[in-house]
Amino acid sequence: MPSTGYFAGGPLHCFTVFPHRDLFVLQTDDLDRVEWSRVGHDMAFLSTLPDFIGIKHIAIEYNPEWGIQMLKGSDFCGMDIVRTLNEGASDAEGFVWKIWLIDHSLKRKADAPAFEEKTSDYVDLNVFYASDRKLLEVEWNGYSDPKENWRYIKPAGDTSDDCWTWSTYFVRRLDEEIRSNMYDDYSGTNQDACNIRLLGWDDL
């Protein structure tokens, strides 16, 4: 079910979204200020119809510094971004289905097999369309090597010797950390959390 709204404080410009299918990218200087328990059910996007309650897919842009910090041998669980996303995945669960990390340095290879888009159900969505590109899920937890179908585009100003992004490894570690914290020792039960996934891009 579509929802129409506008931004306050500026010229009236209405826009229409599909809250359960569209990707909402959070662009903030401080992710710790995000109210994760509320981000998925903003009143503007609420509906009383089953399966149309709130936002299902939110994203943040992957910061290469996270991978560098991870490789330096830092306590992964103690990294600020890991703690923030760990808590966010737990707090947002119930409305948000997936939290995506967007790695703009990963582009689908021209000779890669045709990407199999899953669009029939919001649960399995693996592609989102922007005005100038499409964002595609990067498989990191299967048997295939992401390097087979994706190429690394080094960010401008990057003078490191890296020939591949560490986002795939970072997301894998993050997902493992979140899953390991889902068991509540006090209650002896498993707690739910959002799924963590990775997006690269390709031309339209």
Considering the entire predicted model, what is its pTM? 0.84
Burial of 14 (0-12, 13-18, 19+ CB in 10 A): exposed
Element (H, E) at 100: strand 98-108
Predicted local distance difference test score (pLDDT) of residue 129: 92
Instruction: Count CA atoms within 13 Å of residue 195 on its CB side.
Output: 12
The dihedral built from the CA positions of residue 13, 19, 24 and 29, taken in this order, carries a sign that is: positive
pLDDT value for 150:
94
Residue 81 corresponds to which amino acid?
I
What values do phi and psi take at 37, rounded to 5?
Answer: -70, -15
Q: What is the pLDDT of residue 106?
A: 94
pLDDT tens, N- to C-terminus, the chain (204 residues): 556 655 566 677 666 677 778 888 888 888 888 888 777 665 455 554 555 567 788 999 999 889 888 888 778 888 999 999 998 888 887 778 899 999 999 999 999 999 999 988 878 889 999 889 999 999 877 667 888 899 999 877 666 667 678 899 999 999 988 888 776 545 554 567 888 999 999 998
